[in-house]
Amino acid sequence: MTGTILVAGGNGYIGSHVVVELAAAGFRPVIVDNLANSKPEAARRVAAIAGAKVPLLVGDVRDGAFLDAVFEAHDIDLVIHLAGLKAVGESVAEPLRYYDVNVGGAVGLLAAMRRHRVRRMVFSSSATVYGDPVSVPITEDFATGATNPYGRTKLMIEEILADLVASDPAWRAVSLRYFNPVGAHESAQIGEDPNGIPNNLFPFIAQVAVGRREKLSVFGGDYGTPDGTGVRDYIHVVDLARAHVKAAEALLSGALATGAHLPINLGTGRGFSVLDVVHAWRRATNRPIPYEVVERRPGDIAACYADPRLAASLLDWRAGFDLDAMCRDHWRWQSRNPNGYEEAA
Ligand code: NAD
Ligand code: UFG
């Protein structure tokens, strides 16, 4: 399929992989990003992988005049909205900033889309909207209820999309609820490049493996899970990116002409414990990965994994990469770029 797709936040970790897969599928991606959490080198590498020019338009999704210029210069068919802030702890400390950037950004982008008659959006949501689920696996009709401001911004944006689609049947919107995105492109040219001490398991282990940190702290060994450590549904970022292509195709072809906003889980459907992940990293790296079990991290839940059948039936999408491939590709990226995009700057 062809078409021009505006990828807001397309210079970030997930967005850069989405842009590569869109180009591979025949779309023309246009990146909008304010570089708040990414470096221009990412877009240069994306263009090299894609073998195509990919415009990087530097600006903020809250800036209406900037967006008007983008929509006037490019004949956009659909928007994939990944721009925003994503650190749970930071959102507790700075809620207004999160509501401004995430909710304000989504409203600003949707308003610009309406001005330019672009009415197709794929939105980056999160499994965090399920809060502490009553059971696993999680289907899309589970009760939602965020436990922190970051999660509430995701829920609010989903509700805004639902209201918009209900107000005008010309709109179509899908919220992709990501479980735990990890890994990197097999070229090792693009990947996750967090600032400071990583909050998340994979980037932290990657820095232990590469020798930047001494050992992993395993947050809690007394959950009601098979080995007592937290269980999550890790999903390879390239699988995740391909689901965006499928969602874009389904929205543009009219295959998802439901007249309602659709939330769709993106996960593998399998849960792995922290210790499963440590063992997989040892296999992938042939390195020891020292760890110590410490107190639970406040706000964490025991187990969270998806029922991914809706994505299979509506989008014809299934995850293809297993946990070993996730570790292998994350490690290849980390070991070839021990300081992320930094040394290339
Ligand atoms: P990221 O920080 O790497 O990418 C986000 C990009 O958006 C960055 O390049 C940043 O510079 C840009 N951005 C931020 N604010 C902006 C603004 N106001 N205007 C324009 N650009 C802006 O994060 P990511 O991991 O790629 O996540 C992408 C999206 O997926 C986010 O919305 C995040 O909440 C969501 N998500 C991520 C995860 C995860 O574990 N990584 C899980 C669930 C959902
Ligand atoms: N963990 C550790 N040590 C670490 C980091 C994580 O033991 O240094 C454990 C956590 O306790 C959890 C598992 O590894 O059991 C995964 O933790 P992550 O931080 O990688 O991922 P979370 O599932 O906690 O968080 C993710 C997203 C958030 C989102 C949340 C809820 O990163 O943005 O899911 O859906 F809000």
Give CA separation, 299 vs 136, 220, 293, 322, in Å.
18, 12, 17, 27
CB atoms within 10 A of CB 115: 12
Report the domain count for the chain: 1
The finding on whether 15 has its CB within 6 A of some atom of ligand 1 is yes
Kindly report, residue by residue over 136-183, the tens digit of the pLDDT. Answer: 999 999 999 999 999 999 999 999 999 999 999 899 999 999 999 999
Distance, CA of 140 to CA of 224 (rounded, Å): 24
Q: Is 99 a catalytic residue?
A: no
Phi and psi torsions of 56, nearest 5°: -110, 110
Tell me the whole-structure pTM to 2 decimals: 0.98
pLDDT number for residue 92: 96
Report the candidate in 186, 188, 185, 162 with the shortest Cα–Cα distance to residue 174.
162
Structural domain that includes position 134 = 4-344
Report the candidate in 273, 264, 267 with the shortest Cα–Cα distance to residue 303.
273
Q: Where are the alpha helices (DSSP H) in the chain?
A: 13-24, 40-50, 64-73, 88-93, 95-98, 105-115, 149-167, 201-209, 237-253, 274-285, 309-315, 323-336
Report the candidate in 145, 172, 330 with the shortest Cα–Cα distance to residue 261.
172
Kindly report, residue by residue over 204-248, the tens digit of the pLDDT. Answer: 999 999 999 999 999 999 999 999 999 999 999 999 999 999 999
- What is the β-pairing status of strands 272-273 and 231-232? antiparallel
Kindly report, residue by residue over 263-300, the tens digit of the pLDDT. Answer: 999 999 999 999 999 999 999 999 999 999 999 999 99
The finding on whether 178 has its CB within 6 A of some atom of ligand 1 is yes
Kindly report, residue by residue over 72-116, the tens digit of the pLDDT. Answer: 999 999 999 999 999 999 999 999 999 999 999 999 999 999 999
- Ligand 1, from 37, 138, 155, 304: best to mutate by most atoms within 8 Å of Cβ? 37
Nearest CA to ligand 2 atom 27: 180
The finding on whether 300 has its CB within 6 A of some atom of ligand 2 is yes
Token pair for 153? 């911004």
- Domain of 305, CATH number, reads 3.40.50.720
**How does DSSP assign 300-345, residue by residue?**
--SEE-B--HHHHHHH-------HHHHHHHHHHHHHH-TTTTGGG-
Which one-letter DSSP state was computed for residue 103? I
